[in-house]
Every structure is written in C-alpha cells, then in structure tokens.
C-alpha cells in the first residue's frame, strides 16, 4: 500500500524521531537520498552541471547538503538563494565543499538538472516573482523537486498560482497527499520515496498496489458454484445507447462473478455478444445508469426495489438521492451537477468535492480522472494510480461500472469494490494499450489477463 500523510502528521513523526537522533542526522539522510536520485537521473555526476534553487526552509538545507554530495562526485554545482534567510549550516558546508552561490541565473551555463528546494511542505500554494523568474531562465531543463514541487498545496493536491513542474520528486518518510491527488500529482513526475524510519499514524489517503489488489480480488473456492460466486445484474443502455449496455455487461462478465443478468432494451444485442448472460432474476448487486437516457429513472427505481447494493453511473446519477446507492461513479462534469457547482471548480479541488459528495449522498464516491479518487463517507480516500491517458475514451466508464458491480456481487464492500475495480480497470487499459491507442472493449477483454497476472 502506498500511503500519503498530511503535513501535520509528518511534522509530528519527524519531531519524535529527531529526539532519538544526533542533531542534523535526519537532514543528512534526506540529502543523501536526494543526491542519489539526481545521480540516477544524470546517469553519473562527473562533469555534470547542477543548479540548486534554494529557499529559506529545510528543503533548501536538503538541497545544499545534496549539493555537497554531488560536488564530491565531480559535479559542478551552483546555488541561487531565494527568499530571506537560509539554512546556515548547509550553506556553510556547501561553500566549504566548493559550491558557488550565484545571483544571475541567466548568466550561468545551462545546467543539466535543476534541484527545486524553493519551498518545503509547510509552504503556501504559489511562488514569489524571484522564484518564477529563476525557473523561467532554466525552462526545459529537467527538474528534481525536494519533497514536493514548490508551489503546490501539499495537503489537498490543489494548485493556485505558479508552481514547479518536476520530472522527478524525491520525498522523505512518506508520500504526501499532493503526490497522489490531482491536479498537483501531475506536477510531481516520477515520485521516489526515501525512507527515514518515521513512525506514522493511519494515512488519510492511500493507493492500492498490485499485492493489495491480489489479496482483495475474490477467488472461487473448490466448493463454489455459479450462484455462490455472486450474481450481478446490469440495467443499462437504451434504444438510443445500446452500446453502453454491451460495454457494462462486458466489464461485469470478465470472470469475477459466477453469473451476469441483463435487463433492458438492448437484450438482443447483449445476448448476441455475450451468450452466457441471462435475463432477470435474483442478484447480489445491480449496475444502473450507463447509456440509460430516458429509461434511467425506471432502471434505478427497479434496482433499488430489490434491496441489494446498487452502483449508479452516468444517466442514473441525475435520479439518485442520498442514501440510495452503494457506489456512485461520476466524472467531474457529472459531479458538478450533483453538487450544484461548476466543472472547473471540481477539477481544481477534486479531493474537496469528492469528499463532500460522499458525505451528502452517503455513498462511496468514485470521481473519475487521471488519478481516480475513491472516497468513503467520513473522508477516507484511495487513489488509483494505474491507467494511462489513452483510457480517456468513450465507453471506458461503462466497462468500469460493470467491473465494480461484479466485485460488489462477489462480496467486496463498496469501498474495496470501487477501489479494486478502478485499479483493475486502469491496469487492463495499460496492458491493452501498450504504446498505442485503445477502445473500451479492449479494456474489458484484457481484464482476465490482469487478474491472472496477480497470482
């Protein structure tokens, strides 16, 4: 499990650890990890030009001590001091090691890498003009951020004003919320974690990894039969959008349950494509809404009347009321309509709006996106880090709804079903796409291979 903690949690854990270590030992650990990450990016240090952008906080100290290590490896290291005061011991060590402090970035030879030590995890979103100017002077040079890209909101993943866009972020002790939650996650690049040995509490945000998914995916027991493995029902599609029914059923019929039932106006098309799918009957969960159009309200009412967990997506979201659904799966535009706000507001503050909707609708809320959020009432959050941009294709959400519905029917609780389903969906897209495009049906067809790979 990849866990992301808040600034306050990290600060408290660091304070406890520092009481048991010699003064400065924690910063030296961080600086060593940072230096090694820079060396990996450069494929060695000898003769390389490194520019440190150094702010007044501890991240500036980390950058300066990392600069000392890089100087010892033969790099040419210069530092630009931004802000008022700076880490005195780190600056003295940097100068003693042969590092140069410069003022005019534009007058320096173009560096091979820039180390962003401008603002630490306690900083506010946005950057001051001198930092913006320094970054502009080295635009196009690879950037390694210290802990987080400077200028992002660490605890929310929000962006407000100028900020660093890093190629690599080296973080210490634990991941921070901004590493996982968009839009800030998109500014982090590849995230490298340096373990500091912190004793941390439960994380408010986490991301499943392959081993976690393998442990959660339901697998049939020797004594199981098709009914005991779970039966999922799909009420989706319409005369106008029969394809949504086919895709939702394809996701549901990927082998995760013993039986799939379909009820709707696209029954003939569904049976032709999926002869193993049967008609109405008893189920353990329903999927409602994809492509439902004018039929979505009746589809939802019929599913709710059965008393089993219901996943609501797409057209069904316009008709759902608080307390009715187990899982809701909107994209940003749909969530904006559910909350009576604008799509831009949801995209800018994804975590805030997803948590608000989970509370208001008393359901697990899955907010689709590059880093999909799965939020339970109470605020507990999982982030899906599988997937790739090619997954932004028509019908992909219909497949996702079927996968999650199947996992609900197989016995996972809504929280696990939504987060495991989202992980599998993203992993299947990555496997199906390779280096090129894909369509939604490719994702459904690849799901069994992803599940097999987890063994």
Residue 455 buriedness (CB in 10 A; 0-12 / 13-18 / 19+): exposed
Ramachandran area for residue 398 (φ above 0: left; ψ -120 to 50: alpha; else beta): alpha
**Are residues 227 and 180 both part of a single domain?**
no
**Are residues 231 and 115 both part of a single domain?**
no
**Are residues 146 and 214 both part of a single domain?**
no
pLDDT on residue 362? 98
Residue 289: which H helix or E strand, with range?
Answer: none
Q: Does residue 139 register a pLDDT over 80?
A: yes
Per residue in 389-425, is it b (16+ CB within 10 Å) or e — as a string? ebbebebbbbbbbbbbbbbbbbebebbbbbbbbbbbb
**pLDDT tens-place string over residues 224-282:** 899 989 999 999 999 899 999 999 999 999 999 999 999 999 999 999 999 999 999 99
Q: When comparing pLDDT for 21 and 411, which is higher?
A: 411
Distance CA 152, CA 159 (A): 5
**Are residues 301 and 285 both part of a single domain?**
yes
The model scores a pTM over 0.85: yes
**pLDDT tens-place string over residues 107-133:** 889 999 999 999 988 888 999 999 999
Ramachandran area for residue 191 (φ above 0: left; ψ -120 to 50: alpha; else beta): beta
Count of beta carbons in the 10 Å neighbourhood of residue 97: 16
**Are residues 261 and 196 both part of a single domain?**
no
Total structural domains within the chain:
2
**Are residues 139 and 25 both part of a single domain?**
yes
Distance CA 251, CA 399 (A): 4
Q: When comparing pLDDT for 242 and 85, which is higher?
A: 242
Distance CA 342, CA 114 (A): 37
**Among residues 217, 209, 219, 149, which one has the least CA distance to residue 184?**
149
pLDDT on residue 107? 81
**Are residues 237 and 368 both part of a single domain?**
yes
Q: What is the DSSP letter of 298?
A: H
Domain span including residue 267: 210-453
Distance CA 359, CA 135 (A): 40
Average pLDDT of 426-447?
A: 94
Q: Does residue 396 register a pLDDT over 80?
A: yes
Q: How far is CA 70 from CA 57, 93, 427, in A?
A: 20, 12, 37
CATH of the domain at 19: 3.40.50.10260
Q: Does residue 455 register a pLDDT over 80?
A: no
pLDDT on residue 290? 96
Q: Does residue 315 register a pLDDT over 80?
A: yes
Average pLDDT of 133-152?
A: 96
Q: 110, 49 in Cβ contact below 8 A?
A: yes
Q: 90, 60 in Cβ contact below 8 A?
A: yes
**Are residues 87 and 36 both part of a single domain?**
yes
pLDDT band at 299 (very low <50, low <70, confident <90, very high): very high
Q: 263, 280 in Cβ contact below 8 A?
A: yes
**Are residues 179 and 254 both part of a single domain?**
no
Per residue in 368-382, is it b (16+ CB within 10 Å) or e — as a string? bbbbbbbbbbeebbb
Q: And the tokens for 52?
A: 């440190």
Q: Does residue 348 register a pLDDT over 90?
A: yes
Q: Does residue 183 register a pLDDT over 90?
A: yes
Which of 204, 236, 271 terminates a domain? The answer is: 204
**Are residues 255 and 368 both part of a single domain?**
yes
Q: And the tokens for 319?
A: 């008709």
CATH of the domain at 371: 3.40.1190.20
Per residue in 309-336, is it b (16+ CB within 10 Å) or e — as a string? bbbbbbbbbebbeeebbbbbbbbbebbb
**pLDDT tens-place string over residues 369-385:** 999 999 999 999 999 99
**pLDDT tens-place string over residues 16-64:** 988 888 888 888 999 999 999 999 999 998 999 999 999 988 889 999 9
pLDDT on residue 8? 94
Which of 158, 176, 204 terminates a domain? The answer is: 204
Using omega within 30 degrees of 0 as the cis cutoff, is the peptide bond preceding 183 cis? yes
pLDDT band at 95 (very low <50, low <70, confident <90, very high): very high
Average pLDDT score, the chain: 95
The region of weakest confidence among 99-108, 154-163, 285-294, 427-436 is 99-108
**Among residues 185, 408, 382, which one has the least CA distance to residue 374?**
382
**Are residues 296 and 442 both part of a single domain?**
yes
**Are residues 182 and 219 both part of a single domain?**
no
Residue 8 buriedness (CB in 10 A; 0-12 / 13-18 / 19+): exposed
The region of weakest confidence among 11-25, 164-178, 223-237, 298-312 is 11-25
Which of 179, 204, 229 terminates a domain? The answer is: 204
Distance CA 290, CA 313 (A): 6
Q: Does residue 106 register a pLDDT over 90?
A: no
Distance CA 358, CA 350 (A): 12
């Amino acid at each position: 499990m990849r866990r992301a903690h808040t600034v306050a949690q990290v600060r408290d854990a660091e304070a406890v650890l520092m009481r048991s270590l010699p003064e400065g030992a924690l910063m030296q650990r961080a600086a060593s990890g940072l230096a090694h990450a820079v060396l990996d990016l450069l494929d060695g240090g000898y003769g390389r030009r490194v520019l440190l952008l150094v702010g007044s906080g501890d991240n500036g100290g980390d950058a300066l001590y990392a600069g000392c290590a890089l100087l010892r490896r033969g790099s040419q290291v210069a530092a630009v001091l931004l802000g008022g005061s700076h880490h005195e011991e780190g600056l003295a060590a940097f100068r003693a090691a042969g590092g140069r402090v410069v003022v005019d970035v534009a007058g320096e030879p173009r560096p091979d890498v820039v180390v962003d030590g401008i603002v630490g995890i306690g900083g506010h979103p946005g950057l001051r003009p001198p930092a913006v100017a320094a970054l502009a002077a080295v635009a196009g040079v690879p950037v390694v951020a210290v802990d987080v890209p400077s200028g992002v909101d660490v605890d929310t993943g929000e962006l407000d004003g100028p900020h660093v866009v890093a190629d690599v972020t080296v973080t210490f002790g634990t991941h921070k919320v901004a590493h996982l939650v968009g839009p800030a996650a998109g500014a982090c690049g590849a995230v490298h974690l340096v373990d500091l040995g912190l004793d941390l509490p439960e994380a408010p945000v986490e991301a499943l990894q392959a081993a976690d998914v393998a442990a959660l995916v339901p697998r049939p027991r020797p004594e199981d039969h098709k009914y005991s493995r779970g039966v999922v029902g799909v009420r989706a599609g319409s005369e106008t959008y029969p394809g949504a029914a086919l895709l939702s059923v394809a996701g549901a019929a990927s082998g995760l349950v013993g039986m799939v039932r379909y009820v709707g106006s696209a029954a003939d098309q569904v049976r032709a494509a999926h002869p193993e799918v049967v008609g109405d009957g008893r189920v353990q969960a329903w999927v409602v809404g994809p492509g439902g159009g004018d039929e979505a309200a009746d589809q939802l009412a019929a599913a709710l009347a059965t008393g089993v967990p219901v996943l609501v997506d797409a057209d069904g979201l316009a008709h759902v009321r608080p307390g009715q659904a187990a899982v809701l799966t909107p994209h940003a535009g749909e969530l904006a309509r559910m909350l009576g706000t604008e799509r831009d507001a949801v995209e800018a503050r994804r975590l805030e709006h997803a948590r608000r909707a989970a509370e208001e609708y008393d359901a697990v809320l899955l907010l689709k996106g590059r880093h999909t959020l799965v939020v339970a009432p109470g605020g507990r959050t999982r982030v899906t880090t599988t997937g790739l941009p090619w997954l932004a294709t028509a019908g992909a959400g219909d497949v996702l709804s079927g996968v999650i519905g199947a996992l609900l029917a197989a016995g996972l609780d809504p929280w696990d079903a939504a987060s495991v389903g989202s992980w599998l969906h993203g992993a299947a897209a990555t496997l199906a796409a390779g280096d090129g495009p894909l369509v939604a049906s490719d994702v459904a067809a690849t799901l069994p291979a992803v599940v097999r790979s987890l063994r």
